[in-house]
């Protein structure tokens, strides 16, 4: 028995060494120093895991060797990543410490291993714990993205060996893989890894359908090969005649992709026309890539009729993860549609090995790439993330979109957004302030709303207004992380402002009731009104959801509220307090045009009232009284939150005094329309015009006219007359 065990160990040792040699072969272009470092990492890992075995019964060291080989062979990563992959489980599972790692391999390797150690496997735990661990992994992007890449390789090997796990664990790991790791592999550009992860997850979550499609692919394989040989023959001959160095591959669609197509289109396996695609890979220098790919497209379409609706040019506009290729769908001689993908050797390497190849070729690109922009967006999200882990994962997953749209600014700058993105997403993509003040947009010169979904090729102009600000409803209009985060930030800022108003209201009520404004008394109110914190208490007071009468009742019934030992001395203070003491907001009325208690009052610039407007006065902190229209955008806030500072106001008969007003005219441009408008203003209505400007675009015009009028009746009469001009669509009063 003992002798047999010794033989098994010897056999295992040889197999482990063979596996390690296979890893070294996979890491091409390594130096002697690289080999020594990888050997050192292997020896450390072998010793640390010597007593450990996997669920399958094999020595544990097979797993880190396999993960390292995926990093080298399938991801094209370098020596540092291979070393870290070999060591990735040592700190978590063995006596090795991070200090040991740093002493043996340096600080960089320590940082990556530390990142990997913070992401334990979470097979037996709840969704929220899985989410929190995923969040930890994504946080490492801001330190070293190799942590995420090694984790992806680790997950791929776990999926390849999932058969030895219990059924319930298989379901959990497969579901998590489909939910997060598949989209992540796609976004990092690892298409073959993404397809394998999805197929393996599908194999365990829906084995019946997986085996059914697998069997159909197998039974049709020979016929498919014959068809491909016949289809590619004339293309090969033409390419050879032209002197191209090339490869032609046939890529069969993944099982999961076929299943998804069957589900989304409601078709059977036989009706899925793009079961396979022909890929033509040309070996050509970077400066000739684009021209050669289009030349090959021309040769292909000499033999087969293309479908113009199925042309995808990801060479001129690469996808956000760096993917470049020219896709066309052509009709074969047997009446079958076939997808043909045309790309250079460099493009193919980026498509197969994603991130690593992308950076290998980065120097040939000018400036920051789309991939760098995506990484910076993720960093931006991490810095501002205040939501819980599950919200974070859901929002991050939204950014791992499979489909993208390509849209343009008015100046022709290309923007890449997820499918389903709206005008509001586009506005926030340009700048936070443009998003916060967006009221709509123009898509190909046509006015659209905030929630309008964009399509590839749209040219978009954003319309903003200083009066606009975000609200809760906006969160339903956006799909990008950036937009969601910026809206939430704006809403939080607004909440702080409302809370400040509520705090002011409460402080005033406390003064009136002779209650100390202390943190202890605020705590009493929090408990009494069942609010989670002081901010929420102030917000509810500001919104009128908490009656201050109840505070009076609380004072009578509850001895917990602390009262001052002596009445506080009347504050000597500033202008604002003097104004408040001079004015009785319930009885006083400002007669605009007359003096009012030696107090200055001015027209509010936000709504520029004129005689006839329904108005009120608002007592400001430092600028006396401001007169606002009741339909002013700020009126609701002032009247509801700070009613004690509002005072009635009315107009004295001021027919002899002219007041400045602004009107905006929208309409269809035609010869002579501006002349007709100015004639009505100056000759028919005898109105003094202070300024006029007209802007015309695509046969539409917007005119702005500032005029001197006596009152609202005078202004409305003029606007009514202008509305009757042929071609004028609407006339609005604007702020000056």
- Give the number of other CB atoms < 10 A from CB of residue 275: 20
Q: Which of helix, strand or coil describes residue 633?
A: coil
The structure tokens 């037996």 sit at: 124
CA distance 137 to 155: 13
Indicate the burial class of 645 (C-beta count within 10 angstroms; 0-12, 13-18, 19 or more).
Answer: buried
Closest CA to 604 of 627, 637, 632, 579: 627
Catalytic positions are 92-93
Tell me how far the alpha carbon of residue 533 is from its chain's centroid: 30
Bridge-based pairing state of the strands 326-331 and 246-252: unpaired
What sections of 529-573 are H helices per DSSP?
A: 534-542, 548-557
Closest CA to 520 of 557, 558, 570, 571: 558
The structure tokens 């109840």 sit at: 550
Per the CB < 8 A criterion, the answer to whether 490 and 437 are in contact is: no
Spell out the residues 6+ positions from residue 479 whose beta carbon is closer than 8 angstroms to its own: 398, 418, 420, 421, 422, 425
**Secondary structure letter of residue 304 according to DSSP:** S
Q: Which of helix, strand or coil describes residue 579?
A: helix
Between the CA of residue 36 and those of 33, 40, 42, 79, 463, what are the distances in Å?
5, 6, 10, 10, 62
CA distance 35 to 494: 59
DSSP letter for each residue of 663-698: EEEEEE--TTHHHHHHHIIIIIS-PEEEEEEEEEET
Closest CA to 356 of 191, 141, 140, 190: 190
CA distance 67 to 87: 10
Q: Which helix (H) or strand (E) holds 424?
A: helix 423-430
CA distance 507 to 644: 13
What is the token pair recorded at 654?
């001021």
In terms of residues, how long is the chain? 736
Q: Which of helix, strand or coil describes residue 647?
A: strand
């Amino acid at each position: 028995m003992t002798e047999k065990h010794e033989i098994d160990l010897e056999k295992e040792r040889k197999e482990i060494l063979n596996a390690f040699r296979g890893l070294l072969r996979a890491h091409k272009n390594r130096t002697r120093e690289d080999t020594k470092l990888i050997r050192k990492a292997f020896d450390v890992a072998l010793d640390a895991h010597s007593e450990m075995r996997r669920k399958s019964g094999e020595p544990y060291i097979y797993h880190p060797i396999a993960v390292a080989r995926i990093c080298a062979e399938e991801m094209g990563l370098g020596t540092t990543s291979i070393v870290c992959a070999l060591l990735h489980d040592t700190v978590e599972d063995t006596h090795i410490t991070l200090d040991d790692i740093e002493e043996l391999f340096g600080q960089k390797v320590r940082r990556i291993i530390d990142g990997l150690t913070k992401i334990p496997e979470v097979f037996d735990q709840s969704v929220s714990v899985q989410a929190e661990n995923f969040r930890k992994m994504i946080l490492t992007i801001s330190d070293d993205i190799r942590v995420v890449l090694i984790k992806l390789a680790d997950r791929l090997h776990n999926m390849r060996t999932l058969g030895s796990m219990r059924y319930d664990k298989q379901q959990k790991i497969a579901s998590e893989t489909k939910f997060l790791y598949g989209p992540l592999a796609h976004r990092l550009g690892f298409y073959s890894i993404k397809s394998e992860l999805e197929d393996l997850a599908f194999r365990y979550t829906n084995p019946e359908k997986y085996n059914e499609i697998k069997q159909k692919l197998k039974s049709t394989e020979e016929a498919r090969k014959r068809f491909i040989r016949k289809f590619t023959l004339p293309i090969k001959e033409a390419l050879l005649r032209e002197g191209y160095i090339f490869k032609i591959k046939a890529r069969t669609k993944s099982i999961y992709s076929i299943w998804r197509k069957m589900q989304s289109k409601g078709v059977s396996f036989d009706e899925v026309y793009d079961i396979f695609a022909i890929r033509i890979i040309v070996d050509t220098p970077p400066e000739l890539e684009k021209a050669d790919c289009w030349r090959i497209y021309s040769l292909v379409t000499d033999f087969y009729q293309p479908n113009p609706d199925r042309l995808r040019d990801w060479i001129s506009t690469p996808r956000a993860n760096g993917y470049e290729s020219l896709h066309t769908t052509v009709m074969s001689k047997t009446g079958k549609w076939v997808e043909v993908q045309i790309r250079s050797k460099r493009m193919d390497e980026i498509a197969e090995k994603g991130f690593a190849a992308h950076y290998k070729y980065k120097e040939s690109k000018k400036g920051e790439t789309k991939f760098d922009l995506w990484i910076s967006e993720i960093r931006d999200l991490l810095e501002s993330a205040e939501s819980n882990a599950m919200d974070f994962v859901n929002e991050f997953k939204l950014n791992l979109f499979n489909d993208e749209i390509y849209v343009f600014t008015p100046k022709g700058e290309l923007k890449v957004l997820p499918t389903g993105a709206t005008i509001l997403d586009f506005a926030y993509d340009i700048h936070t302030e443009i998003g916060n003040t967006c009221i709509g947009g123009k898509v190909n010169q046509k006015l659209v709303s905030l929630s309008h979904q964009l399509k590839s090729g749209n040219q978009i102009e954003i319309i903003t207004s200083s009066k606009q600000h975000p609200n809760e409803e906006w969160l339903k209009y956006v799909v990008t992380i950036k937009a969601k985060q910026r809206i939430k930030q704006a809403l939080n800022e607004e909440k702080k402002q409302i809370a400040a108003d509520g705090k002011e209201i409460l402080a005033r009520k406390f003064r009136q009731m002779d209650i100390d404004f202390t943190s202890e008394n605020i705590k009493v109110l929090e408990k009494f009104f069942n609010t989670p914190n002081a901010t929420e208490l102030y917000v509810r007071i500001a919104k009128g959801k908490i009656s201050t009468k109840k505070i009076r009742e609380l004072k009578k019934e509850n001895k917990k509220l602390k009262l001052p030992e002596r009445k506080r001395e009347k504050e000597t203070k500033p202008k604002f307090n003097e104004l408040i003491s001079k004015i009785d907001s319930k009885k006083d009325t400002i007669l605009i045009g007359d003096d009012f208690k030696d107090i200055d009052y001015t027209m509010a610039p936000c709504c520029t009232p004129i005689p006839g407007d329904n108005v009120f006065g608002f007592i400001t902190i430092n600028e006396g009284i401001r007169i606002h229209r009741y339909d002013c955008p700020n009126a609701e806030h002032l009247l509801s939150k700070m009613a004690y500072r509002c005072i009635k106001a009315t107009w004295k008969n001021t027919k002899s005094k002219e007041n400045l007003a602004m009107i905006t005219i929208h309409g269809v441009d035609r010869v002579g329309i501006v002349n007709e408008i100015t004639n009505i203003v100056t000759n028919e209505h005898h109105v003094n015009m202070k300024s006029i400007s007209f802007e015309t675009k695509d046969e539409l015009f917007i005119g702005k006219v500032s005029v001197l009028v006596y009152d609202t009746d005078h202004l409305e009469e003029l606007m009514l007359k202008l509305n009757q001009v042929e071609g004028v669509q609407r006339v609005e009063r604007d702020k000056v």
